[in-house]
Structure 1
Amino acid sequence: MTTHDKTTRRRFLQAAGGVGASLALAGCTGSESDGESTPAANGSATSEGTETGTSSEGGEAGTLNLINSTLSSLDPISADDTASGAVTTQLFDGLMTYPNGEVPVEAVIAEDYETSEDFTTYTFSLKEGVTFHNGTEVTAADFVYSYERLAASSNSRTAADILQTIGVVHEVDGDENYVPESLAVEAVDDYTVEITIEQPFAPTLQVLSNNQFAAVPEGIVGDVEGYDGEMEYNEFASSNPVGAGPFTFDAWQEGTDVSVSAYDDYHGDVPQLDGVRWQIIEDDNAIYNYAMNENADAFDIPTAKFDRGKLSVDETDDRGRRHGTYGPVRNGKTVNYLGVPTLSVYYIGFNMEAVEKPVRQAVAHALNQQTVVEQVFKRRGVPAYHYMTPGIYPGGAEGYGSHAEESYPYGYNESQLDEARALMEEAGYGPDNPYELEFLIYESTTWEDTGKLLRDQLASAHIEMTITKAPFSALLSRVRKMDVQAYSLGWVVPWAAPDAFVKHLNPAASDPTASGAIESYNQWPTDTEAAQNAIDAWNQISENRAPTDEAEQLRAEAAVEMEEANWADVANLPVYHQIEERFWYDRVSIPPFGIGGMFKQKYNGASFE
């Protein structure tokens, strides 16, 4: 076991801290209760004997105890999964933020901002007196350095977000690689940051609100040109992260727990909590036992333990969030409930160079998304036939449903085993020579049950599927090396628009073993007709990014074309869209989170009753 510890002074604080989180890659996810592709981080727990929510005077403070499924890094440009994001959200602030994970986004370190008439220059005025956890003031130079790290550091997993997604003006070399220190991010003065982008991009402020755009002190690490670093990178990323968020880092014991403390010099609402602690647990039974033993103040209930008959939804608010109660649970108590449709899609991905097209199509014919959602996920999600969620799809939920029902080629709400079998026999497979397919999943009973349903169906189509379980970090390692055939993953997208989903269906950015921007893990060959259609459609989106009605319509049309290209080549097979849920005991008060997800919620809005 490795311990990452930063000695900090415990402080008495006076404002509010929060709960809850979720897990996925920065874009990519996997959580258990709703079948995501990364482990979940949307509850909390502590080890036996940890005291919860006590304070000697001045109202109740204490430590909020949650459960997290994993933690990969404390560096915001490297922590590209939602579980890690649940922690880094507490430690770091950027120019903008998702207030409680909601849209529209709001200024946080920025005090104000303005855009040029052509929507290509953003000028942000910073608050004065905002301090990092090391006591230094946040200035425009810190943002210039932080954004350079995002674009140029070898530790950055999300350089595409600043270079391609927002498209900040920059230079490239002969191999189309970013030229260091060429980013058009300027410190006009100590409290003014100017960002110039290549062309208008409607969701710029939403993307700037994500954790990878957070401020860190200029020169804190030496992983970009011109800086030697005040500390070694591994120290910053694992035991001494320095941000300007509402909580400061305490300690991280790999595979055990991570904890943060309230920052009493925070520039916003100071947390009322003393801190937040996440117990790291992947096993469903262990998660449930922690929650039922009341070691967790807020938590998720694994699907295997979830009884829909105990759920009472009292209200659905104007944002589509479901509020109610659940219980009685095993310990006899009735807990509070919140269910939120989020910006997510969970899918079966294929290494397209390793799995031939008839096999991928046969798997699609065999899969009945409705059955999986009903039988495995107990209706804790929506069957997925597109990457885009029903609320984001052009035409909304009605357009989503009609397009899928009329055009999905592999059976809408049904399994088509005869078609699957015919494809495999035409490809030369049969009872005596079945195709061997490994399905790699993270440690999740729901994905395991999904795999078993699919495995049993595919047996009659001459596909012999084996299910391999791995810790989420190990799964990601294999996927990034393309040492896989098929795997379970998911995306929680970084802004609320169609292009945020379909950028993960761009064949030109689908090879994680290659250099350059990576948006998916497929090695999708670019010489197929469908791949060319997807690339052309993505180019149409990229060339029409302005916040105008005409450009929005062109982006919407191209997004649907990319969905249909994915159907044709079966790069990724959508399974379901998550309804993210939080359960919590009465002793804690937590603001409801929004469509952005729990992992984007800062916890300086929670308190103990």
Structure 2
Amino acid sequence: MADSNNVSRRRFLQATGGAAAAAALAGCSGGDGGETTTTSGGNNTNATTQQTTVDLEGTTVNMIASTITTFDPVAATDTESGRVIQQVFDCLMQYPQAKTSVTGELATDFSVSDDYTTYTFTLADATYHNGDSLKASDFVYAWERLVASDKSRRAYFALDSIGIKHEKDSDGNYKSGTLGVTAVDDSTLKVELEEPFHATKEMLAYTSFAPVPEGIVGDIDGYDGEMEYNKFASEKPIGNGPFEMNTYSKGTEVALDKYDDYYGTKAAADHIHWQIIEDPNAYYEFTMNKNADIVNDFPTSKYDPKKVNVDHTTDFGADVGTYGPVRNGETMNYVGNTPLNTYYIGFNMKSVPKPVRQAFAYAMNQQTMVQEVFKNRGTPAYFLTPPTIFPGGPSAAKDLAKNEYPYGYNKSKIAKARQVMEDAGYSESKKFNVTFTQYDSDSWESMAKILRDQLASAHIQMNIQRVPFSTLTQRGRQGQLEAYSLGWVADWPAADNFLQLLNPPQTDTSLKGPISYLNWTAENGDAAEKATKAYQTVRDNPAPTDEAQQKRDAAYKKMEKANWEDVGFLNIYNGLREVMWYDNVEGLKPFGGMGFSRYKLNEVSTK
């Protein structure tokens, strides 16, 4: 839902049944074995159940990935690439155990000015995988790449999300070399913001902000580059994380080696290996043959919720227990958690009238869909904001939805759907035809068929079209969708990361870089002005203070209710993420709300 050259706080989810695959736009997906998926920038791989072809001596943690697109931190927008990048590159901050609170990583200390606009970081004594020492000037270079390189897909993170000081040229574009990032000395970095931003530290844990050796590639002014770009991005990324690249074979496998000179907790395993598998049957066979030690979400078609046995729940909401026995007789260890994500049906409000959108909402029973289609691998969603970061928390979200959701809380109201359509002039002889576009997912297709059959009695002819994920997002940017399946996973743990998608001025697909495909205006939505004003309140109160937070919280709720009124997004569910592993794995802990893709694997090994 964004321009592929300037993606901001945007991470789309490619929902693949209960095992939903996180995807960060632009046009990228990250299949995790849940269903067959198609990923922009890569080929749909042949199903394979063969193990690694590289010689990895010592302990190896074997896993499964879907298509990888790049290892360049500023170019990566898909979760599968991000899983690898997370192990190779470190940042100033980190989400320990993928929990939603940050601590220092490369930053050993930091201070913040009284007005919250200047951050000063003291850097760790770290080295890169090529032997270079980490210096503050590396951040200056790396972040200039983030905002100025034509390879970058995350410039918006620095220029808009955080709002680092910078100058613009006469066309309103970033002026090279003006980013407010300064190397005070080799171990001190200063970052200056245009105004306060409440999630600055959290954003700096995102791998787009990872440092690289100054001048490593020559894709910005003033640098010739020590490496050819494709080698850096596809063969030998140079980071300073606990693992370094061993080999990458496109469509086949990725292998990392332990980095012996790592400044932090050194890797317990000698290697990490991912087999790249797209086909869910091959994924399952690979796992049953014990070629994978750890798996992220069984394919929905092979998943049995009755085999989950929860022993206890952590204080951050992760269920811990076992799954099994599986087909090979083993009982696997299990962690399940619902990270910050929401799946939804979106509408191009310009081409789908409000009564039709409301009829969809009346027909939808979120609870039934979660139970029957997604096998309880998630919870019903009535807000775009996930419950754990909703103002007041999960109980407040549940109470508000239960008491005020206008289309039926955990129920389908077909009679109301039919009535709203008839009030708008539709009938059996005058039906509204709408195309529902979904990416490759059997589970989403099952949901779509149920909805199609329900809407038939409400004078709506719904046609289902299944396309590759990249095709869907391309059509969305061009304003060519009507109704479609998508989702979002958090870039930072706050409601505005989600609700920016509902800010009407940013949803115009006739402009470059729409943040969503809604085309929400006063002409097609009575609540567009409410949503616009509410998001302006969020922007006017960006500081990390209690007073500003209270104003943002009130605005968040107004935006959610405006979406209820006009039905731009019909929220479906918050997806459960599950990780299972065999007993030969040691050191794997429950993951938190930022998801397993943010989990560092340096303490994990095999025996």
Does the C-alpha gap of structure 1 residues 54 and 153 become closer, same or farther in structure 2, counting only changes over 3 Å? closer
| Deviation, structure 1 residue 53 | 13
| Deviation, structure 1 residue 563 | 0.9
CA distance in 2, matches of 1:54, 1:331: 27
2:61 counterpart (37, 59, 64): 64
What corresponds to 1:593 in structure 2? 591
Matching of residues 30-429 of structure 1 within 5 Å: 30-32=14-16, 33-35=18-20, 38=23, 48-50=49-51, 61-128=58-125, 130-299=126-295, 300-429=297-426
2:573 alignment partner AA: Y
Q: Which blocks of at least 5 consecutive residues in structure 1 are unaligned?
A: 1-24
Do 2:33 and 2:66's aligned partners in 1 also have CA atoms closer than 8 Å? no
CA distance in 2, matches of 1:55, 1:224: 36
CA distance in 2, matches of 1:261, 1:466: 49
What corresponds to 2:493 in structure 1? 496
| Deviation, structure 1 residue 30 | 2.2
Structure 2 SS opposite 1:491: strand
TM-score, structure 1 length as denominator?
A: 0.89
1:119 alignment partner AA: Y
Does the C-alpha gap of structure 1 residues 587 and 51 become closer, same or farther in structure 2, counting only changes over 3 Å? farther
What corresponds to 2:567 in structure 1? 570
| Deviation, structure 1 residue 372 | 0.6
Structure 2 SS opposite 1:522: coil
Does the C-alpha gap of structure 1 residues 488 and 256 become closer, same or farther in structure 2, counting only changes over 3 Å? farther
Can you list the C-alpha shifts for 1:58-95, whole angstroms capped at 9, x where unaligned?
A: xxx43222222332322212212222211211121111
Do 2:15 and 2:486's aligned partners in 1 also have CA atoms closer than 8 Å? no
Structure 1 SS opposite 2:553: helix
CA distance in 1, matches of 2:293, 2:216: 35
State the percentage of identical aligned residues: 47
Structure 1 SS opposite 2:388: coil
The alignment status of 1:27 with 2:11, answered yes or no, reads: yes
1:28 alignment partner AA: F
Do 1:257 and 1:277's aligned partners in 2 also have CA atoms closer than 8 Å? yes
The alignment yields a C-alpha RMSD, in angstroms, of: 2.6
| Deviation, structure 1 residue 147 | 1.3
| Deviation, structure 1 residue 493 | 0.8
CA distance in 1, matches of 2:78, 2:341: 13
CA distance in 1, matches of 2:111, 2:458: 58
1:606 alignment partner AA: V
TM-score, structure 2 length as denominator?
A: 0.89
Does the C-alpha gap of structure 1 residues 461 and 496 become closer, same or farther in structure 2, counting only changes over 3 Å? same
Q: Which blocks of at least 5 consecutive residues in structure 2 are unaligned?
A: 1-8, 24-28, 35-44
Do 1:219 and 1:228's aligned partners in 2 also have CA atoms closer than 8 Å? yes
Do 2:20 and 2:577's aligned partners in 1 also have CA atoms closer than 8 Å? no
Do 1:439 and 1:468's aligned partners in 2 also have CA atoms closer than 8 Å? yes
Do 1:311 and 1:326's aligned partners in 2 also have CA atoms closer than 8 Å? yes
CA distance in 2, matches of 1:469, 1:277: 32
Structure 1 SS opposite 2:387: coil
Question: Please, which moves more after superposition, 332-341 or 257-266?
Answer: 257-266
CA distance in 2, matches of 1:157, 1:532: 30
CA distance in 2, matches of 1:118, 1:524: 35
Does the C-alpha gap of structure 1 residues 560 and 347 become closer, same or farther in structure 2, counting only changes over 3 Å? same
2:521 counterpart (519, 525, 530): 525
CA distance in 2, matches of 1:62, 1:195: 40
CA distance in 1, matches of 2:275, 2:454: 37
2:243 alignment partner AA: F
| Deviation, structure 1 residue 571 | 1.8
CA distance in 1, matches of 2:245, 2:346: 35
2:557 counterpart (557, 560, 566): 560
Do 2:146 and 2:154's aligned partners in 1 also have CA atoms closer than 8 Å? yes
Question: Please, which moves more after superposition, 133-142 or 599-608?
Answer: 133-142
| Deviation, structure 1 residue 415 | 1.5
2:534 counterpart (533, 537, 557): 537
Structure 2 SS opposite 1:515: coil
CA distance in 1, matches of 2:479, 2:162: 27
| Deviation, structure 1 residue 42 | 5.3
Question: Please, which moves more after superposition, 434-443 or 534-543?
Answer: 434-443
The alignment status of 1:446 with 2:430, answered yes or no, reads: no
Does the C-alpha gap of structure 1 residues 222 and 365 become closer, same or farther in structure 2, counting only changes over 3 Å? farther
1:156 alignment partner AA: S
CA distance in 2, matches of 1:484, 1:231: 41
Question: Please, which moves more after superposition, 467-476 or 184-193?
Answer: 467-476
| Deviation, structure 1 residue 521 | 3.2
Do 1:342 and 1:596's aligned partners in 2 also have CA atoms closer than 8 Å? yes
Does the C-alpha gap of structure 1 residues 459 and 255 become closer, same or farther in structure 2, counting only changes over 3 Å? farther
CA distance in 1, matches of 2:382, 2:173: 35
Do 1:52 and 1:64's aligned partners in 2 also have CA atoms closer than 8 Å? no
Does the C-alpha gap of structure 1 residues 174 and 560 become closer, same or farther in structure 2, counting only changes over 3 Å? farther
CA distance in 2, matches of 1:261, 1:443: 34
1:210 alignment partner AA: Y
| Deviation, structure 1 residue 260 | 2.3
CA distance in 1, matches of 2:230, 2:427: 52
Structure 2 SS opposite 1:391: helix
Can you list the C-alpha shifts for 1:431-489, whole angstroms capped at 9, x where unaligned?
A: 34533333222322221221121122122223222333334344334334444222222
CA distance in 2, matches of 1:73, 1:481: 25
| Deviation, structure 1 residue 562 | 1.0
Do 1:52 and 1:65's aligned partners in 2 also have CA atoms closer than 8 Å? no
What corresponds to 1:434 in structure 2? 431
Do 2:117 and 2:195's aligned partners in 1 also have CA atoms closer than 8 Å? yes
CA distance in 2, matches of 1:313, 1:67: 24
Do 1:93 and 1:244's aligned partners in 2 also have CA atoms closer than 8 Å? yes
Does the C-alpha gap of structure 1 residues 51 and 186 become closer, same or farther in structure 2, counting only changes over 3 Å? closer
Can you list the C-alpha shifts for 1:272-302, whole angstroms capped at 9, x where unaligned?
A: 2232222233333232222122121111212
Does the C-alpha gap of structure 1 residues 479 and 83 become closer, same or farther in structure 2, counting only changes over 3 Å? farther
CA distance in 2, matches of 1:476, 1:259: 30
CA distance in 2, matches of 1:283, 1:428: 45
Question: Please, which moves more after superposition, 501-510 or 325-334?
Answer: 501-510
Can you list the C-alpha shifts for 1:123-163, whole angstroms capped at 9, x where unaligned?
A: 001112x2222222221111111112222233322222211
The alignment status of 1:602 with 2:586, answered yes or no, reads: no
Do 1:120 and 1:196's aligned partners in 2 also have CA atoms closer than 8 Å? yes
Structure 2 SS opposite 1:438: strand
Does the C-alpha gap of structure 1 residues 258 and 467 become closer, same or farther in structure 2, counting only changes over 3 Å? farther
CA distance in 2, matches of 1:287, 1:248: 26
CA distance in 2, matches of 1:114, 1:142: 20
**How many pairs were matched up?**
579
CA distance in 2, matches of 1:296, 1:515: 42
Do 1:591 and 1:605's aligned partners in 2 also have CA atoms closer than 8 Å? no
Does the C-alpha gap of structure 1 residues 369 and 577 become closer, same or farther in structure 2, counting only changes over 3 Å? same
Does the C-alpha gap of structure 1 residues 118 and 592 become closer, same or farther in structure 2, counting only changes over 3 Å? same
| Deviation, structure 1 residue 186 | 0.8
| Deviation, structure 1 residue 172 | 2.6
CA distance in 1, matches of 2:510, 2:255: 34
CA distance in 2, matches of 1:401, 1:230: 54
Question: Please, which moves more after superposition, 312-321 or 178-187?
Answer: 178-187
Structure 2 SS opposite 1:564: helix
Do 2:381 and 2:574's aligned partners in 1 also have CA atoms closer than 8 Å? yes
Can you list the C-alpha shifts for 1:154-183, whole angstroms capped at 9, x where unaligned?
A: 332222221122111122344433222221
